[in-house]
Structure 1
Amino acid sequence: MKRYLIYVLLMFCCFSAYGQSAEEQRKRWTFAFYGDDSSENFQWSIAGNSNGQNPNVLSEVIWTKLKGAGVGLDVDLNIWSHIFFKGSYHKAFIRSGRATDHDYAADDRTQPTYSAFLKSNEGHTSRYSIALAYKIKLHELLTVMPQAGYANNGQKLSLKNFEEGKGGKELNSSYQTDWKGPVVGFDLQVAKLRRINLNAGFSYQQLHYTGRADWNLIDAFDHPLSFKHTAKGFESQVLLRLSFKINSICAAYLRGEYRYAETGKGIDQLFLADGQERESQFNGALRKVKGIGAGIIFSLR
């Protein structure tokens, strides 16, 4: 069903809105460079067995207020008539954050058997996407660009003790994720004045989630891959961009975004040092990201 939705969207783009002027159909290349500051929360949990029981939450890890500075690039290439190629890349470096790790012996997070309050001040997040879009002018002040493509999000998160011991092996565990799959959405130019332009972007992604962990202090686990999570889910994104035209080829802009992603239930695969493997239910992952930034846009014809 998702595949046919993308096909229909592309066919709609190819047969819509032939009324644009010749000036607007001239090839245009736009490059937007920006820096931003972001904050995110992320969590996952597993059950005691493959049926989601014994208990229904066996272990849960929650990262909060993962903050860091990032850089990004958005590219729009007018490849033919009203058709555009859109690409983006962003990477942020985590400089602060906290995490909790809890294990339970009974259902509904009761009878805790382990609790740890940790720091997570290392790692990074990244995102890239590619898409084809079609520009449709609905009004002098209103332009819409439906699009369809592919996106990949990644995280590399750390778990460390607040107080480092003297001697011995230190806690230095990691969890790395991939959220990837087809994405559809649209960009909406909601206001265009002489020097000010406001754009809004909305997207929805069906994704496949993979999480890989290295729990370095547990000798019974294999290393560097201690366990692996797989599940299916979705992500939605809202992006606002307010630009101020400096001259015919250059503009400064402010941007803000919010992303929400979650998965359904999946599989938790545990890899033991003796070569054995065990499976239980992955209860799901939840991620919320917000960011604000500023940058420069270059438009070339």
Structure 2
Amino acid sequence: MYCRKIISLLLFLLCSTAFCVKAQRNEIRVAAGYGRSDLHWSIAGNIDGEDPDILSELVWSRLRGPLWNGGIRYYFKNRLGIELNAGYHSIQQGRVTDRDYAGDHRQDNYYNEQFNSGGRDVLIDAAVNYNIGILADFQIRPFIGYTLKKQEALLLGDEEKEKDLHSSYKTTWMGGRAGLNAIGVFNRFDIRMNCSGGLLNYKADALWNLIGNFAKTVSFRHRTHAYQVDGNIEMGYTFWKKIRVMGYYQITHGDAWKGTDRAYYTDGSTIDTRLNWVTTTGTAFGAGLSYLF
């Protein structure tokens, strides 16, 4: 729902705002900010999605902490442009709930515990864009690219509960994406917006100290395909012709479809069940500096 609102806002601004577009300048930028994300997945009792339909589910909420990112934008004279970005999010706070069920439709809940959480995110993406002209006084640049996001979400105990727990769930979302950049520049002020979507491969490896007969260091693996949509709005102001200050807000949502959950045990055996879904939503805001050339 939040993604649809952000995309609707971007399209509204794209079609209704009248700014005077100037030639784009190349840019190297660094920024710092704050991010928050949620992560939710579940598995069934067997590979057919039955016995029960939801056997176990994990819900991470309010994974939050500082983030840092940087990137480069470079525009060629033939309308072509490239953009490279990298970011790191240090997850310093959060909660995770672990629930298990004996019956279908979340009936007979026999395990329900909450733990502290932490972790980290790493993001790298690259894109090639092309200036197709002006629409509603914005320069329009469709783009295609590749994205890679890795997250480590932890289950952390405390002095009262599972002191030495430290279980982890490490995810990877990677694949191609395509979208649209809209850039308006007038005098020293500029506004940049983009929205994109992509089809990704999803994989996750878990180290699960909650269950003693799970193997270490890989207790189970998830494999499937996914999609991701995101939107971003950025505003900047240029000082002394080459220094730009900027602020941004972005939102990302991803869903992974039905796939395989493979558990590994200490006796060397494995069991496959169905991965029902994985869903994640993240928001971030921040500010930074750019050097224009």
Shorter-chain TM-score above 0.5: yes
**Contact kept? 1:231, 1:284, Cα under 8 Å:** no
> Percent identity over the alignment?
26
**1:71 aligned to which of 62, 68, 73:** 68
Aligned length: 273
Look up the match of 1:172.
Answer: 166
Structure 2 runs not aligned, ≥5 long: 1-21
What is the alpha-carbon distance in structure 2 between the residues aligned to residue 68 and residue 85 of structure 1? Answer: 29
Give distance in 2, aligned partners of 1:107 and 1:211.
Answer: 25
Distance in 2 (alpha carbons) for counterparts of 1:46 and 1:200 = 37
Match of 1:213 among 192, 198, 206: 206
Counterpart pick for 1:257 among 229, 233, 250: 250
- Aligned counterpart, 2:127: 131
1:157 is matched with 153
Of 173, 182, 187, the match for 2:176: 182
2:229 counterpart of 1:236: yes
2:31 maps to 1:34: yes
Q: What are the residue-to-residue correspondences of 1:89-100 with 2, within 5 Å? A: 89-100=86-97
> Are the structure 2 counterparts of residues 177 and 139 from structure 1 closer, same or farther at C-alpha, using a change threshold of 3 Å?
closer
2:277 is the alignment partner of 1:284:
yes
The AA in structure 1 aligned to 2:190 is N
Separation of aligned partners in 2, 1:138 and 1:109: 52
Partner of 1:44: 41
Greater shift after overlay, 169-178 or 179-188?
Answer: 169-178
CA distance in 1, matches of 2:207, 2:136: 55
- In the aligned structure 2, how far is the partner of 1:140 from the partner of 1:38? 32
Unaligned runs of 5+ in 1: 1-22
- For 1:258, the aligned partner's letter is I
| TM-score calculated relative to the size of structure 1 | 0.87
Distance 2:107 2:124 in 1: 40
Structure 1 counterpart of 2:109, which letter? Answer: P
- Distance in 1 (CA, whole Å) between partners of 2:37 and 2:212 is 31
User: Is contact 1:141-1:192 (8 Å) kept?
Assistant: no
User: What is the TM-score with the length of structure 2 in the denominator?
Assistant: 0.89
Equivalent residue in structure 2 for 1:119, among 97, 100, 116: 116
The Cα shift of 1:210 comes to: 0.4
- Runs of 4+ deviating beyond 3 Å: 162-165
The alpha carbon displacement at 1:285 in A equals: 0.4
Structure 2 CA distance, aligned partners of 1:33 and 1:169?
38
